[in-house]
Structure 1
Amino acid sequence: MMPDKERALRQEVIDTCLKMNALGINQGTSGNASVRVSDEPNAGFFITPSAIPYEEIRPEDIVRMELDGSHSDNRRPSSEWRFHLDIMRHRPDCGAIVHTHGMFATTLACLRMEIPAFHYMIAQAGGPTIRCSGYATFGTQELSDTALEALEGRRACLLANHGMIAIGPSLKKALALALEVETLAGMYWRALQVGKPVILPDDEIERVGVKFGTMGYGAVEKGAAKPRKRKGKAA
């Protein structure tokens, strides 16, 4: 019988995906979410299964993955399990990941545009920009590599012609950041329809980040594995 604590954490993954859709930052089964099994940085994680409508997922359907890439055989993990695995491996500060295909974040991603510091809330993502990664086919190691690069020193990034990733210490915080990124993407898109937004200087974003406690988020701990660099550079 599944322990109550484990069942609750599996249910939280399901609830997070349902909230993503209810908030309008995702649709259908296009996104996914994961959370560490425990607070230990080397712990495995629970991830949404592949191709099951969120409304039909039960706690028993949630897949457990270990950091060696093995997983439970109750269901197939999300097709994007590779970037969940690599982020969990290389970012010991990350306790949860939310991936969405929100309208505005994805629109900017399709234009290969990063989100600059047109608004001080950009500091919530850990730096003066929300980068846009290079493009790679979904579910591939190449996508995972480019996502890791775009997330270096950040808590969120756009995925070119694809969507968005937000990370945090918990599912609640990762989801809140995903909503903030989608809101910022919508504001930036609207501002561009009128003119060229004024961009705040990096030192102001650093001051704001210190107030938020988000600066320096994502620094690789001593001895932790570092992400492989792909050819080229994230936008």
Structure 2
Amino acid sequence: MADPRVDLLHACQAMDAVRLSPGTSGNLSVRDGKGYWITPSGVPYADLNADMMVFMDLKGKWKGDLKPSSEWRFHLDIYCEREDAGGICHTHSTHATALACRREGIPAFHYMVAAAGGPDIRCAPYRTFGTQELSDVALDALEDRRACLLANHGVIALGETVAKALKLAQEVETLAEQYIASRQLGSPAILSADEMAIVLEKFGAYGQQKT
């Protein structure tokens, strides 16, 4: 049986390798039974090992010498509210965070915006990091979505696994970079709600389907 701590470590290493969240910024977690494993607070990703991951129950309790990430609250609330979330990736990636610092989301300038589950990627209002208030606005921005921006902060992405959550966070960063570049040329054309509805339907059947 796979060890979720190892899956989490591999995701941390992959995120660090592509410099998606520099230094000790950002955090990741993976669901496990009646709780979840989350990265510890303030430990560089290069220094992590599987035994350093912190297990938290769904009441916010943990044990051990290492403290969980300061953002454990929104991880906890997402797992409680979203059965589809098996892993969570929070980054401070450069281009997505630049948009978030303007308190802007990402509109349907490209059909791949649908990868986040809707016709746009919302930006949650600013709230202080690590607070219940931040968790509350993040949940609102994630309604019917798998990713959102956090104003003056960064990105949250969800997935069936932590690896898929990381992949989506990378996609959001790519979209943010493309959106910023397109705006430098003028106002990008925005796809209609009808077209995005078609794209979202096609996404539901995209890829290798089980038979």
TM-score range, shorter chain: over 0.9
> Residue 72 of structure 1: CA displacement?
2.4
> Residue 205 of structure 1: CA displacement?
1.2
Residue in structure 2 matching 1:160, options 133, 151, 158: 151
2:49 is aligned to: 58
2:23 is aligned to: 28
Residue 99 of structure 2 aligns to a residue in which SS?
Answer: helix
TM-score (norm 2): 0.94
Moved over 2 A (4+): none
Counterparts of 1:73 and 1:145 in 2: how far apart (Å)? 27
Counterparts of 1:28 and 1:105 in 2: how far apart (Å)? 17
Counterparts of 2:164 and 2:95 in 1: how far apart (Å)? 20
Asked if the contact 1:98–1:175 (Cα under 8 Å) also holds between the matched residues in 2, the reply is yes
Asked if the contact 1:115–1:188 (Cα under 8 Å) also holds between the matched residues in 2, the reply is yes
Residue in structure 2 matching 1:97, options 84, 88, 92: 88
Segment of structure 1 superposing worse, 16-25 or 110-119: 16-25
Count, aligned residues: 205
2:198 is aligned to: 207
2:209 is aligned to: none
1:189 is aligned to: 180
Please tell me the root mean square deviation across aligned C-alpha atoms, in Å: 1.3
Q: Is residue 2:168 matched to residue 1:177?
A: yes
> What are the Cα deviations for residues 107-161 of structure 1, in whole angstroms up to 9, with x where unaligned?
0000011100000000100111100000011111111111111101100000000
Task: Give 1:24's aligned amino acid.
Answer: R
Task: Give 1:137's aligned amino acid.
Answer: T
> What are the Cα deviations for residues 28-53 of structure 1, in whole angstroms up to 9, with x where unaligned?
11010000114xxxx31100001111
Residue in structure 1 matching 2:2, options 2, 5, 15: 5
Residue 171 of structure 2 aligns to a residue in which SS?
Answer: helix
1:228 is aligned to: none
1:75 is aligned to: 66
Task: Give 1:179's aligned amino acid.
Answer: Q
Residue in structure 2 matching 1:17, options 12, 18, 25: 12
Asked if the contact 1:63–1:74 (Cα under 8 Å) also holds between the matched residues in 2, the reply is no
> Residue 5 of structure 1: CA displacement?
3.1
> Residue 170 of structure 1: CA displacement?
0.5
Residue 135 of structure 2 aligns to a residue in which SS?
Answer: helix
Asked if the contact 1:122–1:184 (Cα under 8 Å) also holds between the matched residues in 2, the reply is yes
**Percent of aligned pairs sharing the same letter:** 55
Q: Is residue 2:102 matched to residue 1:111?
A: yes
> Residue 191 of structure 1: CA displacement?
0.6
Asked if the contact 2:16–2:45 (Cα under 8 Å) also holds between the matched residues in 1, the reply is no
Task: Provide structure 1 residue ranges, at least 5 long, that are not aligned to the other structure.
Answer: 215-235
Task: Give 2:25's aligned amino acid.
Answer: S
> Residue 209 of structure 1: CA displacement?
1.2
Asked if the contact 1:61–1:74 (Cα under 8 Å) also holds between the matched residues in 2, the reply is no
1:142 is aligned to: 133
